[in-house]
Structure 1
Amino acid sequence: MTKNIFLILLLLFSKFCVIAQNKEILFEESYTLLNSMSDNESNYNFKKAVFSVENAYLDDNLDTTFVYKQIKLLHGLSTAIINSKTLNYVERDKDIVNKRASIFSILCDTIPVDVNGKMYKYEPFGYDFNDVFGHKMPENLFVSKLLSTHKGNCHSMPYLYKILCEEIGIDANLALAPNHIYIKHRSIKDGWYNTELTSRIFPIDAWIMASGFVHIDAITNGVYMKALGNKESIALVLIDLANNYNTKFPKNDGAFILKCCENAIKLYPNFASALILRAETHYKQIGKIQDKVKQDSLFKDLQKEYEHIHQIGYRNMPEDMYLNWLVSLKEERSKFENKKLNTFNKN
């Protein structure tokens, strides 16, 4: 009897190991895809990058049929908006600006929709203040969750905006602020301007500075307020993959995390989140080393990592202060809104 119980436990343990290994393979496959996009620009596809990360965390259970159908519907709505409305904008890049405005409307505006002569009201996406950092459930940061609930945050909403822009054939630059992602665009008439989806306005740069956690060195070094290119956007997704892996496999040895971090840093050298995650992973690894001499030597190297993060201008912003800062943008709209962009109002 004892022998039989032992065999049953052994089989169960083996089955558990196989399942865990299969789950890890999904993360490796996602990493391979992201790596191919960073190595070869012709492989770039932000939509596929984002959903590969979400699918890995969801154990290959992402409803891709649903999310792709939703994106197709939003693409169609964008086309309808572009064909039915124009902007008070006459420069030669007006077609691009009009397309951007259509995506902004999809995320931020209530839109009347005529379906076979019957009018419906399209409701915009809203901000979800529940678990905005994904501490309880990483899924709260997912674009698939945003598409399913129409509620998102400063992670999922800019990602969806960029996906939809690329679906209609235009670029969108993600940009970073403390604990935050937003959009930066450039037009002939207005130069660089900010698009803030969570508060649905076009804020001036002073809004970022008002957080109190943006050192001038962070701006100079591209830690914050930089218009990120496609490769740098893939760096953001690589760190999403690493963070999801950490959540899914909390007792990992750090090897996969560091692989993601190193590639992300290669694509975006002053990406603070990647530098911090690499340092934190090194710290965990060093703590397991028994050789005191080796441990002390590695701690000196780790100190240099943290010094570098400080030197490029990164400052930690407490989460409660971030939420207060985010709310202040809506409450002090007149103070931070870019008045030049009133031409983005529809006729």
Structure 2
Amino acid sequence: MRKYIHIAIIALVLISTKTHAQDFLYDEAYKSIDAMLKGEKPYSFKNAVFEVENAYKQGLLDTTYYSLAIKTIAHLTKSVMQSRTLKDYDYSDRKEVEKYAALYTVMKDSITINFKDGQSKWTAFTYDFNDIWGDDDWSNMFVSKLLDTHKGNCHSLPYLYKILAEEIGAEAHLALAPNHVYIKHRNQKDGWYNTELTSGYFPIDAWIMASGYVHLDGIRNGLYMKALNNKESLALLLVDLAQGFDKRFPENDGSFTLRCVDKALEYYPNYINALLLRLETKKKQLQEYAKSKDKEINEIMDDQDGKVAWIDLNHQVRNIHELGYRQMPKEMYLDWLVTLKEEQEKYTNKKITTFNKQN
């Protein structure tokens, strides 16, 4: 009997140690991103992305391998820049625009690579219609998965693009639409323009508005279509970190999630996914509180703490709506993406498409 007790104790210790190690990875990823935000550590979107993914992977992500993969693709991008010229672009920022064009080519085109003893074919990164929300496997949202398979989604594709841009010394801004992330660039000829990596087109803003879920208040308040700076991009990663934590530890008390969300909102106050995750987490906490009182969530108004939490919850809902958020049903998302391909003439920025086609 004593033998079995000892075995049980050892098992509990091992489980506890493993859980603590996983918590540690999330805490370390949070601290690293926080240090970047504060300027206490050099900014690196790539490093931050891989730290977030490694936390979910329980420390098993081979960051050295994936960093080398990034360097290899960056080298290919520079080779494309050297071997091709832009079409009809004669402005002082030509060198910068060449970087954008080369990045787009590497991300969305197949390329024949010549060697002394033969040729190799570079395969473009494409959209993966399988598990686009990461519901079955959260790692389907990861850049590392994209690098392994050359298939990704509107989360991993723009993240990789931004990583590669920074690797070759180019500037790329993440931007948000409902349930979606894309890239914004700026050049002297055309000003701001959009790069859509799921389809490989350059949509005008009207396409984003055509989703039907972009309220003008949402644009004015920076929920959507804003060119995010680097700190705001790191805020996105803090929410990714929190979502991964919730996936890994579904029974958590919400404290780590709120820690990430609050820090994200400190640097991107109207980041809609952070606001929604905070609302969802606070609601779960209130449900647990009501459960501890043997009540339903709508029966706690006679409890002072519960009443305060309920009022705060409703205030958050009202604030999110006033900012311009309108929920886009998941089933409508793919329909909206397809419209860009089906209605190219209507929604594609033809000038940008032309000069990104290289000779």
What interval of TM-score do these two structures reach, taking the shorter chain for normalisation?
over 0.9
Contact 2:30–2:238 at 8 Å: present in 1 too?
yes
Task: Compute the displacement of 1:41 (Å).
Answer: 7.3
2:325 counterpart of 1:314: yes
Counterpart-to-counterpart distance in 2, 1:255 and 1:197: 35
Amino acid of the residue matched to residue 299 of structure 1?
A: W
Counterpart-to-counterpart distance in 1, 2:177 and 2:81: 30
Partner of 2:296: none
**What TM-score does the superposition give when structure 2 sets the normalisation length?**
0.94
Counterpart-to-counterpart distance in 1, 2:118 and 2:98: 26
Unaligned 5+ residue runs, structure 2?
294-299
Counterpart-to-counterpart distance in 2, 1:43 and 1:253: 32
For residues 268-347 of structure 1, the aligned pairs below 5 Å read 268-289=268-289, 290=293, 292-341=303-352, 342-347=354-359
Counterpart-to-counterpart distance in 2, 1:288 and 1:125: 43
The answer to which of 226-235 and 273-282 deviates more is 273-282
The answer to which of 135-144 and 33-42 deviates more is 33-42
Question: Secondary structure, in 3 states, of the residue corresponding to 2:217?
Answer: helix
Partner of 1:215: 215
Counterpart-to-counterpart distance in 2, 1:73 and 1:331: 34
Counterpart-to-counterpart distance in 2, 1:319 and 1:14: 42
Task: Compute the displacement of 1:67 (Å).
Answer: 0.8
Task: Compute the displacement of 1:42 (Å).
Answer: 5.8
Task: Compute the displacement of 1:10 (Å).
Answer: 1.9
Counterpart-to-counterpart distance in 1, 2:276 and 2:325: 10
Partner of 2:77: 78
For residues 38-187 of structure 1, the aligned pairs below 5 Å read 38-40=37-39, 43-88=42-87, 89-187=89-187
Question: Secondary structure, in 3 states, of the residue corresponding to 1:335?
Answer: helix
Amino acid of the residue matched to residue 282 of structure 1?
A: K
Task: Compute the displacement of 1:215 (Å).
Answer: 0.5
Unaligned 5+ residue runs, structure 1?
none
Amino acid of the residue matched to residue 248 of structure 1?
A: R
Stretches of 4+ moved more than 4 A in 1? none
Counterpart-to-counterpart distance in 1, 2:9 and 2:355: 69
Counterpart-to-counterpart distance in 1, 2:10 and 2:117: 62
The answer to which of 38-47 and 217-226 deviates more is 38-47
Partner of 2:297: none
Question: Secondary structure, in 3 states, of the residue corresponding to 1:288?
Answer: helix
Counterpart-to-counterpart distance in 2, 1:11 and 1:80: 56
Counterpart-to-counterpart distance in 1, 2:25 and 2:116: 43
Task: Compute the displacement of 1:340 (Å).
Answer: 2.0
Partner of 1:26: 25
Counterpart-to-counterpart distance in 2, 1:7 and 1:111: 61
Amino acid of the residue matched to residue 72 of structure 1?
A: K
The 1:42–1:256 alpha-carbon spacing in structure 2 relative to 1, beyond 3 Å, is closer
**What TM-score does the superposition give when structure 1 sets the normalisation length?**
0.97
Task: Compute the displacement of 1:275 (Å).
Answer: 0.6
Matched residues, percent identical? 49
Q: Aligned Cα RMSD in Å?
A: 1.1
The answer to which of 163-172 and 293-302 deviates more is 293-302
Task: Compute the displacement of 1:6 (Å).
Answer: 2.3
Task: Compute the displacement of 1:293 (Å).
Answer: 2.7
The 1:297–1:226 alpha-carbon spacing in structure 2 relative to 1, beyond 3 Å, is same
The answer to which of 231-240 and 57-66 deviates more is 57-66
